[in-house]
Amino acid sequence: MGIRSTIAPARPPSTTNGPATLHHHHHLYQHHHHGIQTTSSIMIIIITSISILLLLVALILFLVFRRIKSTKRNNLTNTSTNGTIIPNRELAKFGTITAAGTTGAILIASPDVRNCLYRGNVCGAPPAKYRGGQVFTYKELEVATDMFIEGNVIGNGGFGVVYRGRLNDGTVAAIKVLNRGGKQGEREFRAEVDLLSHLHCPYLVQLLGYCADQHHRILVFEFMPNGSLRHHLHPSSLTQSQPLDWMTRLRIALDCARGLEFLHEQSVPTVIHRDFKCSNILLDHNYRAKVSDFGLAKTGSNKINGQISTRVLGTTGYVAPEYALAGKLTTKSDVYSYGVVLLELLTGRVPIDTERPPGEHVLVSWALPRLTNREKVMDMVDPSLRGQYSKKELIQIAAIAAVCVQPEADYRPLMTDVVQSLIPLVRSQATSCPTTPTKLQHQIWTPSRS
């Protein structure tokens, strides 16, 4: 009996698990794709964070760099809440006459000075036709001064003679005929014309024009009817003038400070006056002061307190020690000269007076040790004021003068800081006495005639 073998037919692949397998593969694909997306997102977040961090670091470094530059400029100055500027290393010395204040100097120039421009438009300048300096013929200036008659002379010195004149359009002007002093006189003439024809500010005497006919060298300036500060602080026996009151002195001090602030802080390049003194401060009909005589002016370095070496020029008693001894000239040299003028306004004394008792010949040497003592400061005041001043303001002015005439240039303040210190003093006076006293309003300085 044969055995039958039965071979089962082949079954088709089972379809029972098919959908599950497809779903599993799809799930694996989705999971892998999601993983790629997650990794990309993390990388984007990391890159963004690093970029933001780098930007923040760059910003911080920029701010720190600016802070360092600012500190280098002002780390020697401490501004008190009442506006008096005292160098940090001198705080202990001057602490008796200043209020406690916050550290740091004021860097922003006063609004009036910001409105002045160098090599640009004019603020508070003469009529537009004179901007930049008009060229006059010698004949025109002869007519303006009535042939340069002696009766029109309003000033005389080593530089030449100044005449009062009236130009063709009726403008009253100060016409300065320079001595024929060779190369030096020619250099000073060219320097003043070049500088003032581009430099305009209401606190600087404006150049109206000039004459360079043949050998003649003549400068034409706006007329300042009340003459120089020197004629009022140190009148001669032939000069008739009323003593300047306290308010007027404060205002003159502020006007001069603004003029120097413009030269030092706003002009590009910086201008160093180099001969700042009482006789180079002129007063208008309202006794507002303007800085004049730029024949010795020097353009300085653009760096903060940039130093230049040059031969020593200027006036004895006003020249800063580092400049007089080593020829090192900076804007702080002008600050020293300003401090001397401030002492003159305070005391009524001249910078050098050999007729005074021993120890009092040099104003700065005599005054500096006394400026830190309240009682001695009171004894220093110009007798012509007759006690008509604010004791508090006197002490603050003494403190400003003290730091301006420091022997070491680095201890002196910037003129911007001096301006900010004087503004509240002048404002407080203006509140109590808004106008110039009557005795000054109608008093026009008349030069003596021999």
Residues making up the binding site for ATP: 176
Distance CA 114, CA 350 (A): 33
Q: Which residues are annotated as a binding site?
A: 176
Q: Please indicate whether residue 275 is annotated as part of the active site.
A: yes
Distance CA 223, CA 211 (A): 17
Whether omega before 358 lies within 30 degrees of 0, making that bond cis, reads no
Q: Exactly one of 112, 245, 255, 275 is catalytic; which is it?
A: 275
CA 235 to chain centre: 30
Which of 208, 72, 205, 58 is CA-nearest to residue 132? 208
Beta strands in 63-108 (DSSP E): 78-80, 85-86, 101-103
> Locate tokens 């201008």: which residue?
271
Which of 355, 360, 313 is CA-nearest to residue 337? 313
Distance CA 101, CA 85 (A): 9
Q: Which residues have a Cβ under 8 Å from the Cβ of 450 and sit 6 or more positions away?
A: 238
The CA-based angle 9-12-18, given to 5 degrees, is: 155
Q: State the catalytic residues.
A: 275
